[in-house]
Chain A
Amino acid sequence: MTEQNIGRRRLLKSMSAGFAATVASPLVFTSRGYAQEFCNNPGDKDPIFGFNVPQTGTYAEEGLEQLKGYELAVKHINGEGDGGLMNTMKPMALKGNGILGRKLQYVTGDTQTNTDAARDGARRMIERDGAIMVTGCVTTGEAVAQQALCHELGVIYMSGLTHGNDTTGKDKRRYGFRHFFNGYQSGVAIAPILAEEYGRERRAYHLTADYNWGWTQEESIRDATEALGWETVKAVRTPLGIGDYSQYLTPVLNSGADVLILNHYGHDMVNSLPQAVQFGMRERMANGKQFEIIVPMFSELMAVGAGDAVKGIIGTQNWNWQLEDEGSKAFTNSYGAAYGEPPSQSAHTGYVQTLLYADAVERAGTFYPPEVIKALEDFEFDGMGNGPTLYRGSDHQCFKEVLAVRGNSNPTSRFDVLEVIGTTDREKVTYDHAIFGGELGPYEPNQC
């Protein structure tokens, strides 16, 4: 921070204070700004986390699941409940007595799956409630918007469900961290499974949601499948949220393709997949092969929403409660005991991100963001459900195993709609961060 900058801010503060004295009463202004050396320093008070998820609108269910994950994490960090992943995470600095000996508090907000509302919520948490960390989202738009804001205000942002490459690529930020996997990793992870299941001579037809996430996903899957020897017949862009995809599905039938890849997320996929099945694609033969549909990116709630159509469809997932490792079992147990149902990947992501941040603070010994960031960067840990994981310092993306899943053809309940059919090693899904460009920016907090 330069001299000139500090001077300017002081000047502004005194100016606005003077202004306030003339028009308003001086009691308005908190003296917080002078006492702290960084934004929302908890000082002697309890630290506050901001959980900002969609609670209304089309993604409300995913958001509310995430919120449950957050609330569970807070309990465990504060030493309530059975401790969950606190018992399995290695290394682990948290002691079950809060963070740095202080009890963790939290505030919540509704992003409405809208970037503006998400930023409003994050600002409220930071400016009014004094949140030291903000987390939560279900789309890449929300993630990028919030992490950019948090970087400007000097508060760390731990993203929730965001699958677009941009979050830790073109739009990455020093103050933003992503545990969730991305489109590139989906492509790499799904390719060997596809080769095994469907062979190396396939002709693929892409339907792609026409916005950033869809494009990056299509590109990643295309590269990965073409490397297998597949041919891409056509890639067609479809408008966001159109509902009825029939006019994009009919051309697929006689296009000479024998695989349909749906680069659709959330409700786009919930609509397009059953419609594709209704067009008889699953029963169809093309080029002497069984016609197949692939949905590269899955979530449990999306699978439930698509109903029977999801049976037998292959895709990828960040995490699934049916995994057999210690961490996954521990989390499923304590989540199940608390809420009476198995956790979704949305809940898992929220939980893990909270724990990772808290642990980083404990290790850094301070809430001062640059120190916490350094503690998270290149942090290597295990026992959180996806095997050994690296929080890479150069782009703040987590590297861990990626799951390939298939729609369960005979689910016993709405919780096992997806079954894990394979994992792809961390080494295979690791890539050079330079391929996506972008710049993390400085460590020093900007303003508050």
Chain B
Amino acid sequence: MNAFLAQLLNGLDKGGAYALIALGLTLVFGTLGVVNFAHGALFMLGCFCAVTFRYFLTIETVTIDPTKLSPWGAPVEVRTPLVQSWLGDWGAILVDYSVPISVLFTVPVMLVIGIAMERGLIKHFYKRSHAEQILVTFGLAIVLQEIVKSFFGANPKPQPIPADLRMAADVGAWFGMEAQKLTYPLWRLIYLLFSLGVIGAVFAFMRYTTFGMVVRAGMADRETVGLLGIDIDKRFTIVFGMAAVVAGVAGAMYTPLLPPNYHIGMDFLVLSFVVVVVGGMGSLPGAVVAGFLLGVLQSFASMNEVKSIIPGIDQIIIYLVAIVILLVRPRGLMGRSGVMES
């Protein structure tokens, strides 16, 4: 039972991440009709927003101590962190909490990046074929990766969890179970809540604001909305910026769980496409449901009890589920007809 509950938690946690990553992609798919292969790169940029933020916080002054020598005879450098020396204890706390605080830094940066990308490149490709969209966004993703690589190198950049949040929470005890029987890393629980919060915010925005209403109308019938005299293009730019922000904050908060390297976006690219398509093209709730479904199923498939019956099932479960769902339901879980079907 404990094992089951633990895997359920794992599944929800994974699902939160999958849904969050897929959300931005399906938004761009559904509204702009663009196959965005640079979405993984946006996630990666979000990760590196957190890395950069911490880098700025930990900038050090370097003084050279001529009395000590390194093994090859060069003088040893003495480093003192700047922020701590200016702000004292507050600086230390700031550094400790760099990852959650970096989300505040990530939002404007990703918004600017997203809008710049859309205005500079993507908007010229709305009327081009999907094939060309793939090529241009993939090329863009490679360029972004290489830029990050030239600044940060190829090795992963680990980001710490704030010291107070680093423990494993005794989830079982919260629900009246025996102590230490069901523990789970606190940061993962925070990530789950965070992803639910962001998903909720996006949904509320789309449902309850005029802006969201227009965009939803644009998703359904772009031409008619245009004929009504609404400048849909401007709104689409903001939608793309929003997608970038969602992908970015998903990445920034994920850094303590997965030390990011410049390549991390490519590892998530295929997965996010699978989630979006299984959820159904053009459906926001579909992407969320598919994200959680795939996360939970992946966790259960990894249980030793399951693996002993079907060896290797955990290797392929995501793809297997995708195939079964797409064969049973022609447009994924909640897809609308006519979107990306030709």
Q: How far is the CA of A332 from the CA of B72 in the complex (A)?
A: 7
| Residue A17, interface by CB 8 Å | no
A278, B71: Cβ atoms closer than 8 Å: no
B72, A280: Cβ atoms closer than 8 Å: no
A254, B299: Cβ atoms closer than 8 Å: no
| Residue B329, interface by CB 8 Å | no
Nearest residue, chain A, Cβ from B158: A307
B10, A278: Cβ atoms closer than 8 Å: no
B261, A267: Cβ atoms closer than 8 Å: yes
B258, A271: Cβ atoms closer than 8 Å: yes
Min distance, Cβ A320 to any Cβ of chain B, angstroms? 12
Min distance, Cβ A236 to any Cβ of chain B, angstroms? 6
Chain B: interface residue total (CB-CB under 8 A):
50
| Residue A306, interface by CB 8 Å | yes
A271, B259: Cβ atoms closer than 8 Å: yes
Q: In the complex, which residues of chain B have a beta carbon less than 8 angstroms from the beta carbon of A283?
A: 167-168
Chain A: interface residue total (CB-CB under 8 A):
49
Other-chain residue from A234, A274, A304, A332 in contact with B155 (beta carbon distance below 8 A): A304
| Residue B70, interface by CB 8 Å | yes
Q: In the complex, which residues of chain A have a beta carbon less than 8 angstroms from the beta carbon of B58?
A: none
Query: With A243-B258, A246-B13, A248-B302 given, is the CB distance from A254 to B181 under 8 Å?
Result: yes
Min distance, Cβ B19 to any Cβ of chain A, angstroms? 14
A280, B168: Cβ atoms closer than 8 Å: yes
Give the one of B6, B154, B303 with max A CB within 10 A. Answer: B154
| Residue B263, interface by CB 8 Å | yes
Other-chain residue from B72, B154, B298 in contact with A335 (beta carbon distance below 8 A): B72
Q: In the complex, which residues of chain B have a beta carbon less than 8 angstroms from the beta carbon of A337?
A: 72-74
| Residue A244, interface by CB 8 Å | yes
A280, B257: Cβ atoms closer than 8 Å: no
Give the one of A239, A241, A279, A280 with max B CB within 10 A. Answer: A280
Min distance, Cβ B102 to any Cβ of chain A, angstroms? 16
Nearest residue, chain A, Cβ from B296: A247
| Residue A79, interface by CB 8 Å | no
Q: In the complex, which residues of chain B have a beta carbon less than 8 angstroms from the beta carbon of A329?
A: 71
A306, B158: Cβ atoms closer than 8 Å: yes
Would you list which residues of chain B between 305 and 333 have a CB under 8 Å from chain A? 307, 312, 314-315
Other-chain residue from A64, A253, A307, A336 in contact with B72 (beta carbon distance below 8 A): A336
Q: How far is the CA of A251 from the CA of B9 in the complex (A)?
A: 12
Min distance, Cβ A63 to any Cβ of chain B, angstroms? 9
B298, A278: Cβ atoms closer than 8 Å: no
| Residue A43, interface by CB 8 Å | no
| Residue A133, interface by CB 8 Å | no
Q: How far is the CA of A184 from the CA of B153 in the complex (A)?
A: 32
Which of the candidate stretches A54-62, A98-106, A398-406 sits at the interface with the other chain?
A54-62
| Residue A85, interface by CB 8 Å | no
Query: With A243-B258, A247-B10, A254-B2 given, is the CB distance from A280 to B158 under 8 Å?
Result: no
Q: How far is the CA of A336 from the CA of B69 in the complex (A)?
A: 12
Query: With A60-B154, A250-B7 given, is the CB distance from A336 to B267 under 8 Å?
Result: no
| Residue B193, interface by CB 8 Å | no
A305, B156: Cβ atoms closer than 8 Å: yes
Query: With A270-B259, A271-B259, A333-B73 given, is the CB distance from A251 to B3 under 8 Å?
Result: yes
| Residue B91, interface by CB 8 Å | no
| Residue A424, interface by CB 8 Å | no
Would you list which residues of chain A between 33 and 74 have a CB under 8 Å from chain B? 56-61, 64
A280, B302: Cβ atoms closer than 8 Å: no
Other-chain residue from B158, B168, B183, B185 in contact with A305 (beta carbon distance below 8 A): B158
Would you list which residues of chain A between 292 and 320 have a CB under 8 Å from chain B? 301, 304-309
| Residue A225, interface by CB 8 Å | no
| Residue B161, interface by CB 8 Å | yes
B258, A244: Cβ atoms closer than 8 Å: yes
Would you list which residues of chain A between 242 and 274 have a CB under 8 Å from chain B? 243-244, 246-248, 250-251, 253-254, 267, 270-271, 274
A308, B160: Cβ atoms closer than 8 Å: yes
Q: How far is the CA of A234 from the CA of B304 in the complex (A)?
A: 10
| Residue A275, interface by CB 8 Å | yes
Q: How far is the CA of A210 from the CA of B185 in the complex (A)?
A: 25
Nearest residue, chain B, Cβ from A58: B263
Would you list which residues of chain B between 1 and 36 have a CB under 8 Å from chain A? 2-3, 6-7, 9-11, 13-14, 17
| Residue A349, interface by CB 8 Å | no
Q: How far is the CA of A56 from the CA of B266 in the complex (A)?
A: 13
Other-chain residue from A241, A244, A248, A305 in contact with B259 (beta carbon distance below 8 A): A305
Min distance, Cβ B60 to any Cβ of chain A, angstroms? 12
A280, B3: Cβ atoms closer than 8 Å: no
B315, A239: Cβ atoms closer than 8 Å: yes
Other-chain residue from A238, A253, A275 in contact with B257 (beta carbon distance below 8 A): A275
Other-chain residue from B161, B302, B304 in contact with A278 (beta carbon distance below 8 A): B161
Q: How far is the CA of A20 from the CA of B168 in the complex (A)?
A: 71
| Residue A334, interface by CB 8 Å | yes
Known: A241-B267, A307-B159, A329-B71. 13 other contacts (CB 8 A): A244-B14, A247-B14, A247-B303, A247-B314, A248-B302, A250-B10, A251-B3, A254-B2, A275-B257, A278-B187, A304-B158, A309-B158, A340-B74
**Which residues of chain A have a CB within 8 Å of any CB of chain B?**
56-61, 64, 210, 234, 236-239, 241, 243-244, 246-248, 250-251, 253-254, 267, 270-271, 274-275, 278-280, 283, 301, 304-309, 321, 329, 332-337, 340, 342
A-B contacts, 16 of them at CB < 8 A, read A58-B154, A238-B314, A244-B257, A246-B14, A246-B299, A250-B3, A250-B184, A251-B303, A270-B259, A307-B159, A309-B158, A329-B71, A336-B71, A336-B72, A337-B72, A337-B74
| Top-8 shortest CB links A-B | A307-B158, A336-B72, A280-B168, A60-B154, A305-B156, A250-B6, A247-B302, A61-B155
